[in-house]
Chains A and B, each alone.
Chain A
Amino acid sequence: SQTIHQWPATLVQPVGSPLSLECTVEGTSNPNLYWYRQAAGRGLQLLFYSVGIGQISSEVPQNLSASRPQDRQFILSSKKLLLSDSGFYLCAWSPWTESSYNEQFFGPGTRLTVL
């Protein structure tokens, strides 16, 4: 069966510090991968998605970036965090099939607080 991992689970960082969040998927190959952010009490905002190694699409311009160095690894980074980067970051994957409408499966999330 497939599983998705995220770490760290929680993170408190000062403004201006760098960020690296990691997401890995097990039990599948060539998944689509996604990064979402959920601000407190609000809905989900898609930040990045990837359909393959090295292929990253950005949905929202910001000081965050994403990379996919391996098939099942997705990394969210920042060189300098802002207060507005605080939130709950969720990684998700969907299977690579002929259908474009497969549901996404979410990881446990990382709660980031920028002080």
Chain B
Amino acid sequence: AQKVTQAQTEISVVEKEDVTLDCVYETRDTTYYLFWYKQPPSGELVFLIRRNSFDEQNEISGRYSWNFQKSTSSFNFTITASQVVDSAVYFCALSEVMIKAAGNKLTFGGGTRVLVKP
């Protein structure tokens, strides 16, 4: 069975500090995708990134960066120079191997609440 663990329940930082969110996953599939979503106070989940299991290159998008390490089954997310608008719950998710007939289901971690104080 697939499992995603986000051990940090809540992280509180002061604006401009960096914050790293941990994500550890378990799967028996050799091919899979990992995702990060942001859930601001409004509630809607916003897609941030998708990474496949064959691409271990780190990725940077503005103040966001992702570190995928297959050897440790981790897909960590760092926000550099955090801002108040980064305050949200962040979810890591794992996609099962699925054919069209079965859809592509995501297994979500429990989420990490990030509170950025001014």
Contacts and interface: CB of A to CB of B under 8 A. Distances in A.
Interface stretch (A15-23, A73-81, A103-111): A103-111
Given A88-B43, A103-B50, A107-B44, A46 B106 contact: yes
Contact of B45 (A46, A59, A90): A90
Contacts of A27: none
B100 A100 contact: yes
Contact of A106 (B44, B95, B110): B44
A61 interface: no
Contacts of B97: 100
Interface in B26-73: 32-33, 35, 37, 42-47, 50, 52
Nearest to B109: A43
Interface string A72-115: 00000000000000001010101010101111111111010000
Given A43-B108, A44-B91, A100-B95, A106 B45 contact: yes
Interface residues of B, number: 28
Contact of A101 (B95, B110, B111): B95
Contacts of A32: 103-104
A68 B94 CA distance: 25
B44 A49 contact: no
Contacts of B33: 101
Contacts of A50: 103
Interface string B77-118: 000000000000001000101111111111011110000000
A82 to B, nearest CB: 22
B63 to A, nearest CB: 21
A109 to B, nearest CB: 5
Nearest to B104: A100
Contacts of B101: 51
Interface of A: 32, 34, 42-44, 46, 49-51, 57, 59, 88, 90, 92, 94, 96, 98, 100-109, 111
Cβ-closest 3 pairs across A and B:
A101-B33, A106-B45, A43-B110
